[in-house]
């Protein structure tokens, strides 16, 4: 089933009219680099950025090079899509000469994740990155469903994202599947970026069993500026599976006796493969959207075909901790027999 300008596309500009979405559960963002359309060596300044999409709830925090670069940075207001998820973009303008010498990173923090994306240097612009198809300056990415969407929310979907589109006229995005069955994508959503290009996405709800069975799904992107359609496929990653182990670390005694009002509970999740994983926190055995936590991206625990680990840090008030509230770290991963594992800790039990 296709989506095009003529077929009810939802168009959202950063300063456009608000949409009226359905409620959404906590969802981590996806981050994509936005590169300039030219690498002219005579240009004294260059502007590039990152596109942060598919997250809930607000807000996200965007920094460049962990906050060490602040001059020339502009982060635009977030836009809420018809699905209830948010998107925004952040740009940075720097001397063209520094882009050759310095690696710029877009660092994004959301309540459940911390993501860092490096922007390709001027010297490497001609080389597409892994997982990316190019036609001119148009780039296409496919985003797989998160483990939490597959095994907890039970509403998995795939997303096809196209960036650096010079105009949205004539843009067509079509989802198809390997096996017979319904293909009912959500409306295509288009956002105009700070550099005048467009970013478009179209999500396809799927059944978890089809994803688990290894079915292949295809997104086809057509545009007048493309010499040929870009066709990308996605399916569940093959290979070994390794289930995570979870270790929950209580607040350090020094932190408990400090003058601050909050303490940290740290969750170490290690030994998992592949790297697709979701981490959630609960208070007193219940989901609580007010919880403040940051989860690192998965990190390889060694060379070669090694497993991954990550940390998730939850900030809680000393009053809550001293009052005996319990906190649970839950990891969701396909290699677990029940698809999730959790550990709980409190001042009283320490379990």
User: pLDDT of 178-213, one tens digit each?
Assistant: 999 999 999 998 888 767 788 888 999 999 999 999
User: pLDDT of 307-341, one tens digit each?
Assistant: 999 999 999 999 999 999 999 999 999 999 999 99
Please give the pLDDT value at position 21: 42
More confident residue, 208 or 294: 208
350 within domain boundaries:
no
Write down which residue in 194, 212, 234 finishes a domain.
Answer: 234
225 within domain boundaries:
yes
333 within domain boundaries:
yes
Please give the pLDDT value at position 14: 32
Quick one: 152 and 274 in the same domain? no
Quick one: 312 and 191 in the same domain? no
Quick one: 8 and 96 in the same domain? yes
* Confidence class for position 50, pLDDT limits 50, 70, 90: confident
Quick one: 224 and 256 in the same domain? no
Cα separation, 249 vs 233, in Å, equals: 40
Quick one: 76 and 176 in the same domain? yes
Quick one: 134 and 23 in the same domain? yes
Q: How many domains does the chain have?
A: 2
* Confidence class for position 135, pLDDT limits 50, 70, 90: very low
Cα separation, 3 vs 194, in Å, equals: 24
Write down which residue in 234, 266, 285 finishes a domain.
Answer: 234
The CATH number of residue 66's host domain is 2.60.40.10
Indicate the pTM of the whole model: 0.67
Please give the pLDDT value at position 28: 81
Please give the pLDDT value at position 125: 41
More confident residue, 118 or 333: 333
Quick one: 131 and 98 in the same domain? yes
Quick one: 195 and 60 in the same domain? yes
Please give the pLDDT value at position 5: 43
Quick one: 22 and 132 in the same domain? yes
Quick one: 25 and 106 in the same domain? yes
Note down the domain range covering 329: 245-345
Please give the pLDDT value at position 267: 96
Quick one: 228 and 271 in the same domain? no
């Amino acid at each position: 089933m296709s989506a095009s300008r003529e077929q009810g596309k939802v168009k959202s500009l950063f300063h456009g009219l608000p949409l009226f979405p359905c409620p959404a559960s906590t969802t981590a963002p996806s981050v994509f680099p936005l590169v300039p359309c030219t690498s002219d060596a005579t240009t004294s300044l260059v502007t590039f950025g990152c596109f942060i999409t598919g997250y809930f709830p607000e807000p996200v925090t965007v920094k460049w090079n962990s906050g060490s670069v602040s001059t020339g940075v502009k982060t635009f207001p977030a836009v809420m899509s018809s699905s209830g998820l948010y998107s925004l973009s952040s740009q940075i303008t720097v001397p063209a000469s520094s882009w050759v010498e310095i690696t710029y990173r877009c660092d994004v923090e959301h309540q459940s994740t911390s993501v860092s994306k490096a922007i390709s240097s001027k010297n490497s612009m001609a080389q597409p990155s892994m997982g990316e198809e190019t036609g001119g300056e148009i780039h296409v990415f496919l985003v797989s469903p998160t483990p939490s969407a597959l095994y907890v929310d039970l509403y998995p979907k795939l997303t096809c994202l196209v960036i650096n589109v010079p105009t949205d006229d004539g843009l067509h995005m079509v989802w198809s599947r390997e096996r017979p069955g319904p293909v009912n994508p959500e409306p295509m959503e288009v956002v105009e970026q700070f550099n005048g290009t467009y970013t478009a996405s179209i999500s396809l709800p799927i059944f978890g069993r089809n994803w688990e069975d290894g079915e292949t799904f295809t997104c086809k992107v057509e545009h007048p500026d493309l010499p040929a359609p870009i066709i990308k496929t996605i399916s569940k990653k093959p290979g070994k599976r390794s289930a995570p182990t979870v270790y929950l670390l209580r607040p350090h005694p020094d932190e408990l006796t400090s003058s601050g009002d909050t303490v940290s509970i740290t969750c170490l999740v290690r030994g998992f493969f592949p790297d697709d994983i979701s981490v959630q926190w609960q208070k007193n055995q219940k989901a609580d959207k007010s919880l403040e936590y940051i989860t690192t991206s998965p990190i390889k625990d060694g060379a070669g075909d090694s497993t991954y680990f990550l940390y998730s840090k939850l900030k809680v008030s000393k009053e809550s901790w001293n009052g005996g509230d319990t906190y649970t770290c839950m990891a969701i991963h396909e290699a677990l027999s029940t698809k999730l594992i959790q550990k709980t800790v409190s001042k009283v039990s320490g379990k």
